[in-house]
């Protein structure tokens, strides 16, 4: 006996409250559906329906079995729909939260290629350096740059790990000179990021594994990476930025790495999304694309 077919037949009988009506809607005969019901009851060892001149009523066992059938069949239909959706090109609106540095400074590196590959996805970007609340704000996926990811309620996928490096514009170094040691930084104009996660001190990671802490003499401080980047580019001083943010400028000579043997630790680029039984195809497509982009 086809168990799923029998469950669907019983569900239809219970809904129609008539073998004849149920048989007609299923495209079968009254006698065939009656035999199918008898076989189901025999396999369960329980009577599911009572028949009389007014039609069909469910027994107590029938009510319990109908509830179980409804739950199982709805899950089965949902799984089938999800699998079918995965075989199609991802589409629909995808709301993504991301830091300003990714949404602006890095945007030319990834957005054109993403749109070319996934023409069916409409991307709605929320540009913010604060950590958004995904479920409360209707965010499908969030990109974050952080020293630590502590939101256990979310699923997270690491996209990249990037060194925090010290950089300055050539015009600044031509005027103020190039620092040769970490101690030299105290004689320079440093640019400070004072976002909610930013420490007041710089912890320098040296090549020999040791660490050195200093408080930069910051004549300029801001709460966004994009403003910090612009200040460094126009020659205001030395800034600490992720290598991913400044790699193109370093290659082009628009920025110069200061103290190449020193980093300020690392930052993790990650994609976060709500815990669900099934990840939307558009969410999976975006995360897979960004992982490939950073790799």
Between strands 239-242 and 92-98, the pairing is unpaired
User: Which of 86, 112, 147 is the last residue before a domain boundary?
Assistant: 86
> Does one domain contain both 56 and 174?
no
> Does one domain contain both 143 and 274?
yes
Question: Two tokens at 80?
Answer: 């089938």
CA–CA separation, 10 and 48 (whole Å) = 9
Whether 65 and 48 have beta carbons less than 8 Å apart is answered as yes
> Does one domain contain both 102 and 223?
no
Which pLDDT does position 280 carry in this prediction? 85
Give me the half-sphere count of Cα atoms (radius 13 Å) on the Cβ side of residue 38.
7
DSSP-assigned letters across all residues of 246-257: HHHHHHHTSSEE
> Does one domain contain both 23 and 82?
yes
* Partner residues linked to 168 by β-bridges: 256
> Does one domain contain both 262 and 272?
no
DSSP letter assigned to residue 210: -
Whether 176 and 256 have beta carbons less than 8 Å apart is answered as no
Measured over the CA atoms of residue 260, residue 163, residue 210 and residue 187, the dihedral's sign is positive
Please state the length of the chain: 295
Counting as low any pLDDT under 50, the low residues of the chain are none
* Partner residues linked to 214 by β-bridges: 202
What's the CATH code of the domain at 99?
3.40.190.10
* Partner residues linked to 52 by β-bridges: 55
From 24, 23, 13, select the one nearest 51 (Cα to Cα). 13
> Does one domain contain both 214 and 289?
no
Measured over the CA atoms of residue 134, residue 140, residue 143 and residue 149, the dihedral's sign is positive
Whether 294 and 162 have beta carbons less than 8 Å apart is answered as no
Please tell me the pTM assigned to this model.
0.66
> Does one domain contain both 105 and 71?
no
Quick one: 99 exposed, middle or buried, by C-beta within 10 A (0-12, 13-18, 19+)? Answer: buried
Which pLDDT does position 171 carry in this prediction? 97
Which residues span the domain enclosing 144? Answer: 92-158+268-294
From 71, 72, 70, 45, select the one nearest 59 (Cα to Cα). 45
What's the CATH code of the domain at 236?
3.40.190.290
> Does one domain contain both 202 and 147?
no
Q: CB 234: neighbour CB atoms within 10 A? A: 11
Cβ-Cβ contacts under 8 Å for 4 (sequence gap 6 or more): 73, 76
> Does one domain contain both 279 and 134?
yes
Cβ-Cβ contacts under 8 Å for 11 (sequence gap 6 or more): 66, 69, 70, 73
What's the CATH code of the domain at 81?
1.10.10.10
Which pLDDT does position 231 carry in this prediction? 96
Whether 126 and 96 have beta carbons less than 8 Å apart is answered as yes
Between strands 218-222 and 190-193, the pairing is parallel
* Partner residues linked to 57 by β-bridges: 50
> Does one domain contain both 248 and 130?
no
> Does one domain contain both 259 and 289?
no
Number of domains forming the structure of the chain? 3
> Does one domain contain both 204 and 279?
no
Q: CB 27: neighbour CB atoms within 10 A? A: 6
CA–CA separation, 116 and 101 (whole Å) = 22
């Amino acid at each position: 006996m086809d168990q799923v077919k029998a469950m669907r037949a019983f569900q239809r009988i219970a809904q129609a409250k008539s073998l004849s009506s149920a048989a007609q809607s299923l495209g079968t005969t009254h006698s065939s559906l009656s035999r199918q019901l008898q076989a189901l009851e025999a396999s369960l060892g329980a009577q599911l329906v009572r028949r009389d001149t007014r039609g069909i009523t469910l027994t107590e066992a029938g009510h319990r079995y109908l509830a179980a059938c409804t739950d199982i069949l709805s899950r089965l239909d949902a799984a089938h729909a999800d699998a079918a959706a995965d075989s199609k090109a991802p589409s629909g609106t995808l709301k993504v939260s991301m830091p300003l540095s990714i949404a602006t400074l890095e945007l030319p590196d990834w957005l054109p290629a993403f749109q070319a590959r996934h023409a069916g996805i409409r991307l709605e970007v929320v540009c913010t350096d604060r950590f958004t609340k995904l479920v409360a704000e209707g965010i499908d996926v969030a990109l974050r740059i952080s020293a630590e990811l502590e939101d256990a309620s979310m699923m997270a996928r690491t996209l990249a790990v990037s060194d925090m490096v010290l950089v300055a514009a050539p015009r600044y170094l031509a005027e103020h000179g190039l620092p040769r040691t970490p101690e030299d930084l105290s004689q320079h104009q440093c640019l400070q990021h004072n976002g909610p996660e930013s420490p007041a001190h710089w912890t320098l990671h040296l090549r020999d594994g040791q660490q050195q802490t200093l408080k930069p003499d910051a004549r300029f401080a801001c709460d966004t990476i994009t403003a910090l980047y612009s200040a460094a580019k126009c020659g205001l001083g030395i800034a600490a930025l992720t290598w991913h943010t400044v790699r193109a400028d370093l290659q082009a000579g628009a920025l110069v790495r200061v103290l190449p043997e020193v980093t300020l630790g690392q930052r993790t680029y990650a994609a976060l999304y709500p815990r669900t039984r099934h990840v939307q195809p558009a969410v999976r497509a975006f995360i897979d694309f960004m992982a490939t982009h950073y790799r």
